[in-house]
Amino acid sequence: DAKTTQPNSMESNEEEPVHLPCNHSTISGTDYIHWYRQLPSQGPEYVIHGLTSNVNNRMASLAIAEDRKSSTLILHRATLRDAAVYYCILRDRDNNDMRFGAGTRLTVKP
């Protein structure tokens, strides 16, 4: 399985944008880029996913590099409730399971 590399931790100030990077240099043409986050003492929750084009939803934006070897999850205005571990995951289009790495722990300072 193609792997992802994320920083262990990042900090942000409240109400500022946050850019969470993910490297996936061995991504294959059929891999989709998924992001999940895990709030303290909760199960992970889906954030966003994409293949080649940038994607937006109510939670976040996903910017995908043209060569698809990296991507960035963008939180436009971080709130204290966004403090969580963020996971970048590659999923083959027909894959029946999803493999999590260690993720990036985001701290949001008031």
Partner 1 sequence: NAGVTQTPKFRILKIGQSMTLQCTQDMNHNYMYWYRQDPGMGLKLIYYSVGAGITDKGEVPNGYNVSRSTTEDFPLRLELAAPSQTSVYFCASSYGGNHNYGYTFGSGTRLTVV
- Residues of this chain that interact with partner 1 (CB under 8 A) are 32, 34, 36, 41-46, 49, 51, 87, 91-103
Cα distance between residue 99 and residue 106, in whole Å: 20
Q: Report the residue number, 13 or 54, with the smaller CB distance to partner 1.
A: 54
Residue 103 vs residues 9, 38, 66, 109: alpha-carbon distances, Å:
8, 9, 23, 19
Return the H-helix or E-strand segment holding 79: none
Query: What is the nearest approach in angstroms of partner 1 to the Cβ of residue 68?
Result: 14
Q: Cα 87–88–93 angle (5° rounding)?
A: 125
Q: Report the residue number, 6 or 70, with the smaller CB distance to partner 1.
A: 6
